[in-house]
Structure 1
């Protein structure tokens, strides 16, 4: 029952008994009895704690605790994976052989331009408007894919295999610098100092960086052959920027 309903309920009950004799304290220091109608109220939790259950996310754990008023946020570029790319990615684990790494394919591919951030609810409107303004003043750009690289998260509990991107025009680097300036206004962490732009394609639990690095020569030969045969996958034109805040997605055109 909400606070307003509780007040309405108590008022209604008071109206029903307004003609009854009300208890009066015999002396000022004596406490009046609490009305039975109040004693019967049942409170509700202000909010429920959201528990992280890795079993529902292939063993993955949150990098930060879920709290009311905090919104998980990411600014990124969507990569339109097609059948050819997905077929090649799905074939990579079979090439590893003795590496014994349980790699899983990402359901969607993207190029991150910020770290995973925690945005306060009252920041959302101004943050979205600021990202939109940066996008409007930025021209479309193109990145080039070349080789694979292994990444491990800061907690060392997940490892990623990704295709690196070359930002030859430096436009993407300049765009991220503007985003970093915006993030500093909210005291949020900037993107990595030595930005290594990439699109993650496979992941596994734990720290498998050393194992996968041993397989990179073979895997990079595979990606070189794929990009030579599928030239449309060698370059990615960036014309839109995505900003996901909680379960809401904002798409901003460049230029």
Structure 2
């Protein structure tokens, strides 16, 4: 009985089982009847279980190679969007990488260029020759340059300046009388604007000579004492190129002092192979000039011009004498003053 009871109990359990195994029914009709006789709740439960099984089959695919989905793994979920600070860091890294790549590209491009073509070219101003200087006499009162202009050459001269002071107006009137007298004979003269006594020819210096020559001249000439000049008489002078004619007043007193000064100047410029002063030069002050060589015509007027000169100096007797306390060395547009020694 015990055995039979256990068998009956087993039969009842199998009868209530939802297994699709053998439940004791053999005909298809009985199986259909069993399915149809199940409650709606059970049918819903079965349906929900079947849907869960399908979802699980999708989420956890089988490792079998028979299914197409089993050979390709599911793509990973997308990463979360970067924060603003992370985004800025990524952009900076991308920019630096781009600059580095461009730098390497430019280096690679120039590495194949021969060294000669990578040399920085000279400015066009240096490659082209300097423009030729052309003198225009109309801009210089008709004067013609006696020495050709050349870049790097400095026209220079040593001279004694004459300061008129309070007699400037009366002396200008005196020069105007001389010019007017010449104009009556069709000789057009121009009054000199810079009154001086030349102690050298026009010297052409290189730039690097100026400073040492200035020091030499100052060392030699500053030992001379101050002295006085006395002017008297008119003379006519023509430059070496015979392109200009001058009317000048000669130096009478003070020529010995000027000779000593010129001798020391000549010794200084001889080291630079520059021309010495005129051997038989006449110290004078040019008061008027004209272009060309009109020396013969002007000399014929000297007696008349001498009368005008004597009349002026008879009135302005103090204008005959000039005190010399300094010499000037002009080179280009620079003027160097050399002071003479004062007597104690």
Smaller-chain TM-score bracket: 0.7 to 0.9
Q: Please report how far the alpha carbon of residue 138 of structure 1 lies from its aligned counterpart in structure 2 after TM superposition.
A: 0.5
Shift of 1:133: 1.3
Change (3 A) 1:42 1:156: same
Aligned match for 1:56, one of 139, 150, 155: 139
Task: Report how many aligned residue pairs link the two structures.
Answer: 234
Q: Contact 2:227/2:254 (CA < 8 Å) preserved in 1?
A: no
CA distance in 1, matches of 2:204, 2:110: 56
Matched, 1:122 2:204: no
Q: TM-score normalised to the size of structure 1?
A: 0.84
The answer to whether the 8 A contact 2:233-2:250 is kept is: yes
Report the alpha carbon displacement of residue 174 of structure 1 after superposing the two structures with TM. Answer: 0.9
- Which residues of structure 2 form unaligned runs of 5+? 1-102
Structure showing the higher helix proportion among its residues: 2
1:194 aligns with 2:300: no
Say whether the 8 Å CA contact 1:99–1:212 is kept in structure 2: no
Match 2:198 to one of 101, 112, 121 = 112
- Measured after TM superposition, the shift of residue 135 of structure 1 is 2.1
Give 2:331's aligned residue: 245
CA displacement, residues 105-137 of structure 1 (integer Å, 9 cap, x when unaligned): 111211111111101111111110111112211
Which position in structure 1 is the counterpart of 2:161? 78
CA distance in 1, matches of 2:161, 2:277: 17
The residue number in structure 2 matching 1:208 is 294
2:109 is the alignment partner of 1:43: no
Compared CA separation, residues 126 and 218, structure 1 to 2 (3 A): same
Deviation per CA, 1:131-179, whole angstroms, max 9, x where unpaired? Answer: 1112211011111111110001111110000111114461111111111
Residues 1:68 and 2:151 aligned together: yes
Runs (5+) with no aligned partner, structure 1: 1-13, 25-31
Residues 1:89 and 1:15: Cα distance change in structure 2 (over 3 Å): farther
Which structure has greater strand proportion? 1
Going from structure 1 to structure 2, the CA distance change for 1:107 and 1:169 (only over 3 Å counts) comes to: closer
Aligned with residue 20 of structure 1, among 99, 106, 109: 109
How well do the aligned residues superpose, as a CA RMSD in angstroms?
Answer: 2.4
Give the whole-Å Cα distance in 1 for the aligned partners of 2:261 and 2:120: 58
The TM-score normalised by the length of structure 2 is 0.63
CA distance in 2, matches of 1:169, 1:184: 22
Match of 1:160 among 232, 240, 246: 246
With over 3 angstroms needed to count, the CA separation of the structure-2 counterparts of 1:15 and 1:213, relative to structure 1, is: farther
Contact 1:158–1:206 (Cα < 8 Å) also in 2: yes
SS of residue paired to 2:249:
strand
Give the superposition deviation at 1:74.
0.7
Please give the per-residue CA displacement for 1:177-235, whole angstroms capped at 9, x wherever unaligned: 11111111111111110020000010001111001100001111111111111111111
Decide whether the 8 Å contact of 1:73 with 1:118 is kept in 2: yes
Q: Higher relative contact order at CA 8 Å, sep ≥6: structure 1 or structure 2? A: 1
Shift of 1:88: 0.7
